[in-house]
Amino acid sequence: MAKKKTTFVCQECSYESPKWMGRCPGCNTWNSMVEERIDSVPWAAGKGPSSREKKASPVPVTQIKAVEAPRLPTGVGEFDRVLGGGVVPGSLVLFGGDPGIGKSTLLLQMAGILSEQAQRVLYVSGEESLKQIKMRADRLEIGADDLFILTETQIDEIEKHINQVEPQVVVLDSIQTVYHPDVTSTPGSVAQVRECTAALMRIAKIKGIAVFLVGHVTKEGAIAGPKILEHMVDAVIYFEGERHHTYRILRAVKNRFGSTNEIGIFDMHESGLREVVNPSEMFLEERAHGAAGSIVVASMEGTRPVLVELQALVTPTSFGTPRRTATGVDHLRLALMLAVLEKRVGLLLQNQDAYINVAGGVKLNEPALDLGMAISLASSFRDKPTSPYDVVIGEVGLTGEVRGVSRIEQRLAEARKLGFKRAIIPSKNTVGWELPSGIEVIGVQSVKEAIEVVLEGETI
C-alpha cells in the first residue's frame, strides 16, 4: 500500500512545508502549521470543473461581444452604493466584520427586501438553527415566501439545494463553517476554505447566481483564512463600527464592478439597520460650540463629502517622553503635524502630550484633514476656541505650505448646506472656478497663515 503524502500548511498565509515547523517562515506566526493530505484535494483527483466543463479556447478581443449585465438593486441604498449600483449576477462577494457587528442582520435584511421584490433568495447558515434565524426575521419583520432558509455545512448538500431552489441570490453564513467531504482537514482550515470557495465560485459563474460569503475576522481585523480567498472573490466588503456607537460603516476594499472609495453608513436599531442619508449631521449633532481644540473638516469618502469634527487635546506631559495618541486618523500624520507646528509655526510642543480624535469614532485617512489637525492642535495648545461656523480643508506639506485638494466644490457645497459661514481652504483651490455664494471662502498658503485666520481673526 502506497504511503499517504502529507504537507503542512500555514492557516494564516497558506505557506506549505514538507515538515512541521513551530514558526511559519512566510508570516512568522507561531503554531499555525497544520498537517493536510495532498491526495485529498478534489481538484487533484479530477473532480473539479476542469474535468466536466467544456474546454475554453483563445478568442480575439475584437470578436468578444460586450453585454452589460443588469444590476439587481438590493433595496438598501447604502449597500447598493458600496457595491457600485447593485448586485451583479454571477458575482462572488466576501463580507467580513467583527463578531456581533451586524453582518447577519444586514444580509438577512437585504435578503428579505429582495424576496419581497419577487427575487428568490437562499439563506444558508452553518452557525444558527432555523428557530434562531426565524426569531431574527420576526424582529426585522421579514416574511416573504421567496426567502428560503437552510441550515447546512456540507458543500455538496448546499450545491444540491441550490439546484433545487434555483435562487437569484445565495447568502452563506459563514464560509469558515462549511466543509468539503473529500478534504480531510477540519472546517475553517486553509484547504477547506479554499475548496469550498472554489466550488461556490464555480456555481456563481456557471449559473449566474450572486453569492455572498460571510467571513470571520482575526484579532487584527483581517478576514480569517488564507489571503488567496480575497483574490478569488469579486468584491471584499468590511462592515465596521464601534461597539459603543450605534452606527455602522460599510466599506469596500476590493470591487471588480465598482469603486473601492465608497462607504455606506447605517444606524443600528432594535428593528434592524437603518440607512443614514446625511452622515454629516449625525457626526456633528453633539458638537460643543466655543470649545478649544475643536474644528470641523470636510472629508471625501468616494463621491460623498462627509463633515466631521476633529478634537485635539494638548497638555503638559508628566513623563520623560510625551504621548502621541490618535483615534480615527493615522498617528504618523499626528506626529508630522506636531513637527510642522513646532518647526514652522514656533509652538513648543516637545514637552506636551497630544491627543487627537475624530468625534463619533469614524476612521478617516485623507491628506485633506492635515490643516484641520494642525489648527485643532494649535487651538488646544493656546487654549483659544474656534468659531463653530468654520470648516477647514487642506493638505499640509513638510515646509508648512497648504497644498490643494480634490473635489473642493462638493466639500464646500456640503458645508454650505449644513449652515457653515466660512471655509478656510488652500489658495490654489480658490482659482479656476466660481466660488459659491452663501459661504465666505478664504484661501491660505501656509499653516501659520491659517492659524492666524482661525484663531486670531474675528469670529462670526
Binding-site residue set for ATP: 97-104
Residues 138, 455: Cα–Cα separation, whole Å:
54
Q: b vs e for 256-277, b when ≥16 Cβ sit within 10 Å of the residue's Cβ?
A: ebbebebbbbbbbeeebbbebe
Residues 448, 371: Cα–Cα separation, whole Å:
10
CA-based nearest residue to 109, from 77, 155, 151, 64: 77
Q: What is the CA radius of gyration of the chain?
A: 26
Residues 307, 369: Cα–Cα separation, whole Å:
11
CA-based nearest residue to 205, from 282, 91, 102: 91
Q: Quick check: 86 and 74 in contact, CB under 8 A?
A: yes
Output the CA–CA distances (angstroms, integers) from residue 61 to 49, 65, 66, in the order listed.
25, 9, 10
Q: What is the DSSP string of 274-287?
A: EE-S-HHHHHHTTP
CA-based nearest residue to 324, from 356, 295, 294: 356
Sign of CA dihedral 341, 344, 349, 350: positive
Other beta carbons less than 10 A from residue 313's beta carbon: 17
| Helix axis angle, 103-116 to 130-139, nearest 10° | 70
User: Within 85-154, where are the H helices?
Assistant: 103-116, 130-139
Residues 427, 229: Cα–Cα separation, whole Å:
46
Which residues sit opposite 35 in a β-bridge?
A: 8
Residue 245 C-alpha cell reads as 456607537
CA-based nearest residue to 182, from 195, 194, 172, 169: 195
User: Half-sphere exposure of 165 toward its Cβ, with a 13 Å CA cutoff?
Assistant: 23
Give the annotated binding-site residues: 97-104
